Structure 1
């Protein structure tokens, strides 16, 4: 009986063991099937971990965790907090769930939330950990925070633009916003320069720059210096991102500088206006793969707002400059209007004075512009019809320039003025007002009249002197011809008589010497007679007085040709002409002066002289085939010969036109009216 009882008892125990193992297996199976990670540890040593927990922690199965200290799995930054929680838990305190960030052996980052329950089993305190994976939720939260930061940064940039007045400060503020609100390590803005190196110049930056931007040459060209994100973004006009600088950067010096400052990813976005890229903005993050599609799109919006802000500030600056220039222009205009020596005025079509400057008041004899305000502009005309005519003409022509007008001062005195007026018209073409200015020309007119009178007096004096000179020359020529000529003739006769006496009464041995001296004296008298005749002719050709102008012209042409060797042809189409002596003398002297100029300056081989009558005008034209007089020589103040030709013609109401063609010759055309 007892043996039986023992056997039955053993069977019963075995049955209970199998049932217990079954329930344990069933329990562990249920735990393994749990959607949450479960870890059991006693005294800090893991006794069990389900598959979910093993997977979370980077192991293949829960058995890989059994026997490991639980604290070995806790990240160092959470160790102190976990130890504190263990103490509090052992003291029986109920604790809230613990959230922590965990990086498994493969390097993958997870976020967990753990809840600990203490169970007493056979006197042992077993800690039951429930671990919930919050990685997806945390990543979504981080992404939301990141996107919210980007949105806040965009909003802050737009608010900054509203307050900004200066471009460079705006860029600095934007970089501060990107780093402060956006949470990026570094941000900078660069402008492209169209120089030979195609340089990118940093204009603003913020964050962990540490002389990074000024260490390298940065270019937007397709060269070794233009392969960075900013250069590529500017060159292509498209966003450019490097998500892992350790792998993406090939230049060792650049990689060392970037990684050493904690940069792990970079996004560069072009700054564009009206299709033209003028710069870029760069965002630097300490995280790898920091720039996903959503964040990049938001930052592109920020870059677009930045581009708009830059252009808006530039437009504002240009507007400020334009406004300042306008104010300055208006100020200068007012100064000019008030201080201008010209009389500026604005009047209504009826002549009412709308405004004028002090010069206008002074010109018309008023003390101030205010005194003129009560006047009507038409009252300044001697005849009001002249003012009305001016208004009608202005309505037709819209503007009238350089009008010479005679106006009336306040005291009734005459004013000579040059007046410019411009009309302002409405959309219907009706004249609204008249703006103009006038220059007091009274003194110039007076000086002009005095100059004209003086010139006329000088010309009359010159004509008088010419007449006196001609009369004196005629008188001297006659005296030389009559007195000296007769004396020389008498002397010649005495020499001939002396020769006869020598031949008759002087011995032959003495005669030869005396005859030689008499012959020499006779020859000297003959030469003196020729000289007297030449001087007489130069002073006043006898042919002009004895035969008249036409034979004198032929004689002068022949004399010129014989003296100079220059061929001289005459074409006289006038058969007979009856001219006063002064008239004939003027024409002849013009001919002589023209031929003298040819001889001295022209280097000609042929001269033609044409003398004709065109209705009531005598025309004398002298042409040569010489080198041609230049305009500069004609304008010389010491060209007295040319001046004399013109003045001789002017005395008789005529004119002289002198033209030169280089290499072809010079022509002198003289026209003198017969009446």
Structure 2
């Protein structure tokens, strides 16, 4: 059978289908088309165009002047001029407009105007399209706003920014840094390397750091000194991160500089205050030691002769009494002699605690040895003094300090440690002076000091403050199983300490043996 040949499509149906697709496309794209007859001024609008302008089809198609009434004042003349230019010059026009709709909404349109010429070349008709581009315009405005904010933040941030290329050339700089330095952008960008902005003292350091930075990609909080155009300097804190390409090669830096002037000034002021406080503290300690020395001397000078005379008087009195009377009064005289001896010993101990005379005329080690012997007799704790590696003569204030710390450490040991032995070690090297006092007592947990239910450790605090006032360091180590050790150390600075001319062992070698009771 022969194949049936379908009827050709109806031209009108094809046209309607095509027109429907066009209208659907215009609705999706929020676009309408129009035509304008030059001679009559009549316009034709597509249905979508009515919707774009919120105009009812019952109102009919407006002419050009009425259509221009939808545009904002800043767009009317621009649009009118574009229409006349298309007619007079026959040139295609593209423009964007701001539209005020009857609902009060403001929208943005993009209009394309295409001139149509007759056979003689005269423009007799215009046609074109108008599309709603409000979303795009608002997105562009938001993008411009954010871009402006970011640029404003970069240019006017309270810190300086710059970027360097791999050669250290400045390729970008913000307004804040320009104001700090007093330069114009044209003087710096592309014309100066970063090291030229730094003071001579900082340039060598920056050169070393920049080479390392290009490898590591990170630089944090480097103190550096900028040099302004007028020659004055400015302290800044510099931090930077690197921009790398896909192969990990250095491309540029992102660098931020914070004004460090106030912090540096405060640091200098704080250092000056700390120095002054240390001087006052040392002076206070010196005054205290002098008062202790004075009081001990006065106490000894006023009481010793009288106590000795009283002891001699009691002895003479005993010899002068008749035997029967002496036999009756002898118990009272013995009590008086014992009380006198106890008073003499007590005053001697008080003077030693206040300021042992040995410390002034013989030095630290004999004073510690004497005190350790008395401490051992009084407490039953054996004290070992080791000065094998010590050969320095110390300033009097340091001797006083170390003696007081030893005194406080032994007192703490007697009160709390339940120790049987204490070892005092004193040594010096080329750069350090060290004293350590360690016991074999019950120890404690240093982290619990000051907590509820524990003693406040005032003795430890006193020792720490004494050491730090004199410029030394204080360290504490304690464990319930191994006992307690304190270490006081000083950095030996040129001229501050000197070796003893006779050698410390010439007067202290006996101190290396046990100083406890036999």
Contact 1:353 1:374 in 2 (8 A): no
**What does residue range 162-241 of structure 1 map to in structure 2 within 5 Å?**
none
- Please say if 1:620 is aligned against 2:435: yes
Alpha-carbon separation, structure 1, partners of 2:161 and 2:315: 92
Q: 1:634 to 1:500 in 2, by over 3 A?
A: same
Confirm whether residue 486 of structure 1 aligns to residue 305 of structure 2: yes
Shift of 1:472: 2.4
Is the CA contact 1:355–1:373 (under 8 Å) kept in the aligned structure 2? no
Residues 351 and 378, structure 1, Cα contact 8 Å, conserved in 2:
no
Do structure 1's residue 395 and structure 2's residue 178 form an aligned pair? no
SS of the aligned residue for 1:494 comes to helix
- Segments of structure 1 that go 5 or more residues without pairing to the other structure are 1-155, 165-322
Alignment of 1:493-512 (within 5 A): 493-499=312-318, 503=322
Give, in angstroms, the shift of residue 485 of structure 1: 0.8
C-alpha contact (below 8 Å) 1:649/1:656 kept by paired residues: yes
Answer whether contact 2:164 2:254 (CA < 8 A) is retained.
Answer: yes
Partner of 1:205: none
- Over 3 Å counting, the alpha-carbon distance change for 1:393 and 1:527 in structure 2 is closer
1:668 aligns with 2:483: no
User: CA RMSD, aligned part only?
Assistant: 4.6
Counterpart of 2:243?
424
1:553 equivalent in structure 2:
368
Normalised by the size of structure 2, how large is the TM-score?
A: 0.54
Q: State the SS of the aligned residue for 1:627.
A: coil
When residues 557 and 372 of structure 1 are mapped into structure 2, their CA distance, relative to the original with a 3 A threshold, is farther
Asked if 1:381 corresponds to 2:201, the answer is no
Task: Give the aligned partner of residue 476 of structure 2.
Answer: 658
Say if 1:561 and 1:332 are closer, same or farther in 2 by CA, change over 3 A. farther
Task: Give the whole-Å Cα distance in 1 for the aligned partners of 2:230 and 2:427.
Answer: 57
> Are the equivalent residues in 1 in contact too, given 2:390–2:426 (CA < 8 A)?
no
SS in structure 1 at match of 2:275: helix
Change (3 A) 1:489 1:441: same
1:190 maps to none
C-alpha separation in 2, matches of 1:575 and 1:425: 58
1:525 matched to which residue of 2?
340
| Whole-Å separation in 1 of the counterparts to 2:470 and 2:352 | 25
* Match among 138, 159, 171 for residue 342 of structure 1: 159
* 1:535-569 superposed Cα distances (whole Å, 9 cap, x missing partner): 11111224434554334333333433444444544
The CA distance in 2 between the partners of 1:490 and 1:566, in whole Å, is: 35
Measure, in 1, the Cα distance between the counterparts of 2:209 and 2:353: 61
C-alpha contact 1:609 1:620 (8 A) present in aligned 2 = yes
Do the aligned residues in 2 keep the contact of 1:403 with 1:419 (CA within 8 Å)? Answer: yes
Find the aligned partners of 1:557 and 1:334 in 2 and give their Cα distance.
74
Question: Please, which runs of 5 or more residues in structure 2 have no aligned partner?
Answer: 1-20, 30-139, 499-518
Q: Indicate conservation of the 8 Å contact 1:549/1:584, yes or no.
A: yes
Contact 2:389/2:428 (8 A) holds in 1: yes
Contact 2:162 2:170 in 1 (8 A): no
Alignment of 1:592-603 (within 5 A): 592-602=407-417
Q: Is the 8 A contact 2:426 2:434 kept in 1?
A: yes
Determine helix, strand or coil for the equivalent of 1:628: coil
1:328 Cα offset (Å): 11
* CA positional deviation for 1:339: 6.8
Could you tell me how far apart the structure 2 residues matched to 1:603 and 1:440 are? 57
Aligned length: 349
SS at match of 2:484: strand
